[in-house]
Structure 1
Amino acid sequence: MINSSEIRQSGFRGELIQSEDPDYDEARAVFNVSIDKRPVLIARCVDADDVARVVVLARKHNLPLAVRSTGHNVAGYAVCNDGVVVDLSRMKAITVDPSARTVRAESGCNWGEVNDALQPYGLAATGGFVSITGVAGLTLGGGLGWLVRKHGLALDNLLGAEVVLADGRRVKASSHENEDLFWAIRGGGGNFGVVTSFEFKVHPAGTVLAGIVLHPAGAAAGAIRRWRDLEAEAPDESTLGALLFHMPDDPSLPPPMRGAPVAGLGGVYAGPVEEGEKILRRLREYGPPLVDKFAPTPYNDAQRMADFLWPPGLHSYWKSSYFKALDDAAIDIVVDRFAHVPSRHTVIVLENYGNSAWSRVPESATAFGHRNWPWNIVVTSAWSDAKDSERNIAWTRELLDALGPYKAPGAYVNYLGGDEGFAGLQAAYGTKLGRLGAIKAQYDPTNLFRLNQNIAPAPLADAPGG
Structure 2
Amino acid sequence: MAPFTKARTALAALRADLAGEVLAPGDAGYDVARTVCNARIDRRPAVIAQCAGEADVVRSVCFARDLDLKIAVRGGGRSVAGMGVNDNGVVVDLRRMRGVTVHPGAAAVRVEGGTLMHDLDRATQPHALATTGGRDSATGVAGFVLGGGSGWLERALGPAADSLLGVELVTADGTTVRATAEEHPELFWALHGGGGNFGVATALTLRLHELPEFSVAVVVFRPEAGPDAIRVFRDVVATGPAEAGGAVLYLTGRSEPFVPGYLVGTLLCLVVITYVGGADRLRGLARPLLELPHESEVIAALPYADVQCLLDTPSGMRNHGSAEYLTALPDGLVDVFCARARTMPVPTGCRYMLFPFGGAVTSAYPVPRGDAPWAVHPCGVWADPSDDDRVLSWVEHARADVRPWRTGVVCMPLIGDQGRDRVVGGLDAESLNRLARVKRRYDPDNVFRYNHNIAPG
Tell me the TM-score range normalised by the shorter chain.
over 0.9
Cross-structure match for 2:311: 306
Cross-structure match for 1:200: 206
C-alpha distance in structure 2 between counterparts of 1:256 and 1:198, whole Å: 42
Is the alpha carbon distance of 1:255 and 1:372 closer, same or farther for their aligned partners in structure 2, counting shifts above 3 Å?
Answer: closer
Counterpart amino acid of residue 443 in structure 1: Y
Cross-structure match for 1:443: 442
Q: How far has the Cα of 1:28 moved from its partner? A: 0.6
Q: How far has the Cα of 1:411 moved from its partner? A: 1.0
Q: Which of these residues, 339, 346, 352, is aligned with residue 348 of structure 1? A: 352
Q: Does the 8 A contact of 1:210 with 1:268 survive in 2? A: yes
Is the alpha carbon distance of 1:91 and 1:274 closer, same or farther for their aligned partners in structure 2, counting shifts above 3 Å?
Answer: same
Is the alpha carbon distance of 1:146 and 1:255 closer, same or farther for their aligned partners in structure 2, counting shifts above 3 Å?
Answer: closer
Q: Does the 8 A contact of 2:195 with 2:452 survive in 1? A: yes
Match status 1:429 vs 2:427:
yes
Partner SS for 1:175: coil
Q: Does the 8 A contact of 2:258 with 2:298 survive in 1? A: no
Is the alpha carbon distance of 1:45 and 1:273 closer, same or farther for their aligned partners in structure 2, counting shifts above 3 Å?
Answer: same
Cross-structure match for 2:324: 321
Q: Which of these residues, 291, 294, 298, is aligned with residue 296 of structure 2? A: 291
Cross-structure match for 1:369: 368
C-alpha distance in structure 2 between counterparts of 1:347 and 1:64, whole Å: 34
Cross-structure match for 1:380: 379
Partner SS for 2:37: coil
Q: Which of these residues, 262, 271, 281, is aligned with residue 277 of structure 2? A: 271
Match status 1:126 vs 2:123:
no
C-alpha distance in structure 2 between counterparts of 1:252 and 1:93, whole Å: 32
Match status 1:337 vs 2:344:
no
Which moves more between the two structures, 372-381 or 338-347? 338-347
Cross-structure match for 1:81: 87
C-alpha distance in structure 2 between counterparts of 1:230 and 1:69, whole Å: 37
C-alpha distance in structure 2 between counterparts of 1:273 and 1:397, whole Å: 38
Counterpart amino acid of residue 223 in structure 2: A
- The 5-angstrom pairing of residues 69-148 of structure 1 reads 69-148=75-154
Q: How far has the Cα of 1:319 moved from its partner? A: 1.5
**Structure 2 gaps, min length 5:** none
Q: Which of these residues, 166, 176, 190, is aligned with residue 160 of structure 1? A: 166
Partner SS for 1:207: coil
C-alpha distance in structure 2 between counterparts of 1:375 and 1:248, whole Å: 27
CA deviation string 1:301-341 (max 9, x = no partner): 1221222xx11111111121111111222221221122222
Q: Which of these residues, 351, 357, 360, is aligned with residue 357 of structure 1? A: 360
Q: How far has the Cα of 1:6 moved from its partner? A: 2.7
Partner SS for 1:405: helix
Q: Does the 8 A contact of 1:208 with 1:271 survive in 2? A: yes
C-alpha distance in structure 2 between counterparts of 1:346 and 1:73, whole Å: 18
Is the alpha carbon distance of 1:235 and 1:13 closer, same or farther for their aligned partners in structure 2, counting shifts above 3 Å?
Answer: same
C-alpha distance in structure 2 between counterparts of 1:251 and 1:53, whole Å: 46
Q: Which of these residues, 20, 26, 34, is aligned with residue 32 of structure 2? A: 26
Q: How far has the Cα of 1:368 moved from its partner? A: 2.0
Cross-structure match for 1:463: none
Q: Which of these residues, 60, 66, 69, is aligned with residue 63 of structure 1? A: 69
Q: How far has the Cα of 1:94 moved from its partner? A: 0.8
Counterpart amino acid of residue 408 in structure 2: P
Q: How far has the Cα of 1:19 moved from its partner? A: 1.2
CA deviation string 1:393-412 (max 9, x = no partner): 11211221122122222111
Q: Does the 8 A contact of 2:171 with 2:177 survive in 1? A: yes
CA deviation string 1:95-132 (max 9, x = no partner): 11111111100011111111101111111121111111
Q: State the percentage of identical aligned residues.
A: 36
CA deviation string 1:165-212 (max 9, x = no partner): 001011100001000110011100000000000111111214311141
Q: How far has the Cα of 1:73 moved from its partner? A: 3.6
State the superposition RMSD in angstroms. Answer: 1.8
Q: Does the 8 A contact of 1:211 with 1:293 survive in 2? A: yes
Give the ranges of 4+ consecutive aligned residues of structure 1 lying more than 6 Å apart after TM superposition.
250-254
Which moves more between the two structures, 46-55 or 387-396? 387-396
Cross-structure match for 1:461: none
Counterpart amino acid of residue 149 in structure 2: G
Q: How far has the Cα of 1:251 moved from its partner? A: 12
Q: Does the 8 A contact of 2:109 with 2:205 survive in 1? A: yes
Q: How far has the Cα of 1:385 moved from its partner? A: 1.1
Q: How far has the Cα of 1:232 moved from its partner? A: 2.1
Match status 1:46 vs 2:52:
yes
Partner SS for 1:99: helix
Cross-structure match for 1:453: 452
C-alpha distance in structure 2 between counterparts of 1:65 and 1:203, whole Å: 35
Q: How far has the Cα of 1:254 moved from its partner? A: 6.2
**Structure 1 gaps, min length 5:** 459-466
Cross-structure match for 1:230: 236
C-alpha distance in structure 2 between counterparts of 1:292 and 1:416, whole Å: 31
Q: Does the 8 A contact of 1:75 with 1:418 survive in 2? A: yes
C-alpha distance in structure 2 between counterparts of 1:456 and 1:176, whole Å: 25
CA deviation string 1:261-310 (max 9, x = no partner): 1111114200244332221112212x132121110111111221222xx1
Q: Does the 8 A contact of 2:51 with 2:96 survive in 1? A: yes
C-alpha distance in structure 1 between counterparts of 2:185 and 2:103, whole Å: 24
- The 5-angstrom pairing of residues 392-431 of structure 1 reads 392-419=391-418, 421-431=419-429
Counterpart amino acid of residue 137 in structure 2: S
Q: Does the 8 A contact of 1:250 with 1:258 survive in 2? A: no
Cross-structure match for 1:6: 13
Q: Does the 8 A contact of 2:77 with 2:114 survive in 1? A: no
Cross-structure match for 1:464: none
